Amino acid sequence: MGLTETSVRVKGIGEGTATIRDALHALLEAYPELRAEVLTDEDELADYVHVVHNHVDIYNETHHLATPVAVGDDLALFPRVE
Q: How far apart are CA 64 and CA 75, in angstroms?
A: 12
Residue spans of the domains in the chain: they are: 20-79
> pTM for this one?
0.82
Name the architecture of domain 20-79: Roll (3.10)
Q: How far apart are the first and last CA of the chain?
A: 22
| In the predicted structure, residue 12 carries a pLDDT above the cut 80 | no
List pLDDT tens digits, range 28-82: 999 999 999 999 999 999 988 889 999 999 887 778 899 999 988 999 998 867 6
